[in-house]
């Protein structure tokens, strides 16, 4: 089995704020990320797929096909978006990078049929990154 990881970039903004918390709790939990005006990130997305190399091409997947799919499902949807308002995925969820990572994984896993999507890693800053492999990827 070969694992291929492809890297993409997009920018988006969000406000970390939960309607289930009071204003004081939101400020305590989310700090400066609870700014009413929101804040943005230049995200780095890594998508890992896996499979056996095609005997004719020697490749696990057609990179142009993968790029096109990630572009349509993720980059066009989230690049330069205000996640709280522009992304239907976060209607009742706080648009944390954790939730964004899970959402991207499920979008790609459900729609990309050429090879399985094994992992999504989303870097928010040089200090924070999040990785999701689906429920079956959990360690006990």
Q: What is the pLDDT of residues 69-123, one digit of tens each?
A: 999 999 999 999 999 987 778 888 999 999 999 999 999 999 998 899 999 999 9
Whole-angstrom Cα distance, residue 37 to residue 16?
A: 10
Strands (E), the chain: 2-14, 39-51, 81-82, 117-123, 129-132
Q: Is the Cα torsion angle 33, 24, 86, 48 positive or negative in sign?
A: positive
Q: What average pLDDT does this structure show over 49-59?
A: 96
Residue (of 51, 55, 45) closest to 108 by Cα position: 45
Catalytic residues: 33, 80, 124
Domains and CATH numbers, the chain: 2-134 (3.30.479.10)
| Tokens representing residue 82 in the block | 């205000």
CA quadruple 90, 12, 70, 50: dihedral, nearest 10? -80
CA quadruple 32, 38, 42, 46: dihedral, nearest 10? 90
- Measure Cα distances from 105 to 22, 39, 118, 130, 137 in Å: 31, 23, 9, 11, 12
Q: pTM for the whole thing?
A: 0.92
């Amino acid at each position: 089995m070969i694992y291929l990881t492809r890297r993409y970039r997009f920018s988006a903004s969000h406000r970390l704020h939960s309607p289930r918390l009071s204003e004081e709790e939101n400020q305590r939990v989310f700090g400066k990320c609870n700014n009413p005006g929101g804040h943005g990130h230049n995200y780095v997305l890594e998508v890992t797929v896996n499979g056996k190399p095609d005997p004719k091409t020697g490749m696990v997947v057609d990179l142009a096909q993968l790029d096109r799919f990630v572009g349509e499902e993720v980059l066009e949807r989230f690049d330069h978006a205000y996640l709280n308002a522009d992304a239907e995925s976060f209607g009742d969820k706080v648009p944390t990078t954790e939730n964004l990572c899970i959402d991207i994984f499920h979008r790609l896993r459900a729609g990309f049929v050429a090879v399985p999507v094994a992992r999504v890693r989303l870097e928010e800053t040089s200090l924070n990154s999040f990785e999701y492999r689906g429920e079956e990827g959990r360690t006990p």
